[in-house]
Amino acid sequence: MDSEYLKSAISQFEYYKMLGEKTLAQLPDEALFWHYNEQSNSIATLVKHLWGNMTSRWTDLLTTDGEKAWRDREGEFVNDIQSRDELLQKWQEGWCVVLETLRSLREEDLTKIIYIRNQGHSVLEAINRQLAHYPYHIGQLVFVGKMLAINWTSLSIPRGESRQFNADKFAQPKHREHFTEEFIPQPLPMSETNQKLRVAHEQLWQACLNLSIELQTKQVNGKWSAVQHIQHITKGAGAYYRYLHMDKDLIQHTFGTTSRLSKSFDEVYSAYHKRLAEVAKSTSRFDPEDNASISLLTEIDKGRQIVEGIIVQLATWPDADLDKYSCPHPILGNLTAREMLYFTIIHAEHHTTSIRKLSKLL
């Protein structure tokens, strides 16, 4: 029961984090710093206050008072954040402490007594306290955002659509589901992800093997040959394989961590193809060699070992770590480890399509 409580609490914190982020994304920069009068708070000030509370309450949750000596609560209400980037940095820093701490808790921790300004709380009571506090301020943030957005997109059921929304819900059989699941992208089950990874690469290799030996190395209009596509994919998957073998402390030091939710498979697909439409190019470290120096069968054998190695290594990663650790991508920026896994599948699928198109041009 307690483990279900923790899972539910994390989902609800993530839900309100998502509401805040969808509001911030709809606003021009100047709206973030607007406030109605001297007694009201701008969105930037609300974020600064949440950041101060979060870093104080959740740092060393089990061992120190939640009101840290270093916290400057009065300073949190000074409207001095200078940019959207600074605002988002504080937003992510605060949420990172909250979610990392929650994910580290065990069932037996919930009954432990901790203190906030010397007032004792069970850990469960402290979680409930913030589950009321943070949505209170997120609601203020959304309210101000709705007033200042040029074209506001509803964060819940749009006006006029309640009847249809209810009809869709009641058309489904009764089932157990957390209410946040339809709003927060859910990761693919790992068994399904592993299968997609294998299939995507097998289809890639088969598309090349279906060509004659002569056509496997033929270039058209300066484009990569089929075997060059294969080697490019091998290099990319190999980089992810090596990343998964890195020590977690080294990953954190080198690439950082994040508290944001991983994008869904479809969202990563859309982001990648959007960048392709902007004429994104492969970086030189992933460029293939000349045709003559590539052995197709060697590349396929290497690729199979890498794919199976990725699957074996993923089994050693706690699921939460796939969303926690950052993994750099040359054209998509910082992804989570889970998003990079999705990209590795999508990347192979994309180049399979390229090889099949190439075969029609030859």
**What's the mean pLDDT in 28-56?**
95
**CA 97 → CA 92, 94, 306, 336, distances in Å?**
9, 6, 34, 17
Q: What superfamily in CATH does domain 2-148 come from?
A: dinb family like domain (1.20.120.450)
Per-residue pLDDT for 268 more than 80? yes
Residue 270: per-residue pLDDT: 85
Confidence of residue 220 (pLDDT cuts 50, 70, 90): confident
Phi, psi (5° rounding) for residue 159?
-55, 140
Residue 47: per-residue pLDDT: 97
Residue 212: per-residue pLDDT: 87
Domain ranges of the chain: 2-148, 190-361
Domains 2-148 and 190-361 share a fold: yes
Query: Over the chain, what is the mean pLDDT?
Result: 91
Confidence of residue 1 (pLDDT cuts 50, 70, 90): very low
Task: Judge whether 49 and 77 are in contact, CB under 8 Å.
Answer: yes
Phi, psi (5° rounding) for residue 32?
-70, -20
- Per residue in 117-135, pLDDT (tens digit) is 999 999 999 999 999 999 9
For residues 320 and 142, which has the higher predicted lDDT (pLDDT)? Answer: 142
Residue 362: per-residue pLDDT: 58
| Structure tokens that stand for 35 in this block | 């406030």
**What's the mean pLDDT in 103-111?**
90
Residue 200: per-residue pLDDT: 96
Q: Express as a percent the part of the chain with pLDDT over 70.
A: 96
Residue 279: per-residue pLDDT: 62
In the block, which residue shows the tokens 């059989």?
Answer: 173
Helix (H, G, I), strand (E, B) or coil at 327: strand
Per-residue pLDDT for 3 more than 80? no
Q: Express as a percent the part of the chain with pLDDT over 90.
A: 64
**What's the mean pLDDT in 254-275?**
85
- Per residue in 293-326, pLDDT (tens digit) is 888 999 999 999 999 999 999 999 998 899 889 9
Provide the b/e sequence for 214-224 (b: ≥16 CB within 10 Å).
Answer: eebbbeeeeeb
Task: Judge whether 310 and 242 are in contact, CB under 8 Å.
Answer: no
The CATH number of 190-361 is 1.20.120.450
| Structure tokens that stand for 346 in this block | 């999508």
Q: Which helix (H) or strand (E) holds 119?
A: strand 119-122
Strongest mean pLDDT among 292-301, 326-335, 339-348? 339-348
Residue 280: per-residue pLDDT: 58
The bridge status of strand 326-329 relative to strand 333-336 is antiparallel
Contacts 24+ apart (CB under 8 A), 68-77: 73/49, 76/45, 76/48, 76/49, 76/51, 76/52, 77/41, 77/45, 77/48, 77/49
- Per residue in 177-201, pLDDT (tens digit) is 788 877 776 778 899 999 999 999 9
- Per residue in 227-258, pLDDT (tens digit) is 999 999 999 999 999 999 999 999 999 999 88
**What's the mean pLDDT in 37-58?**
95
Residue 2: per-residue pLDDT: 60
Per-residue pLDDT for 56 more than 60? yes
**What's the mean pLDDT in 93-122?**
92
For the whole prediction, is pTM greater than 0.75?
no
DSSP 293-310: G--HHHHHHHHHHHHHHH
- Per residue in 273-302, pLDDT (tens digit) is 888 887 656 667 888 888 888 889 999 999
Helix (H, G, I), strand (E, B) or coil at 247: coil
Confidence of residue 262 (pLDDT cuts 50, 70, 90): confident
| DSSP class of 269 | H
Rounded CA separation 218/358 (Å): 9
Helix (H, G, I), strand (E, B) or coil at 326: strand
- Contacts with 56 (C-beta within 8 Å, 6 or more apart), sequence order: 66, 67, 68, 70, 71
44: left (phi over 0), alpha (psi -120 to 50) or beta: alpha
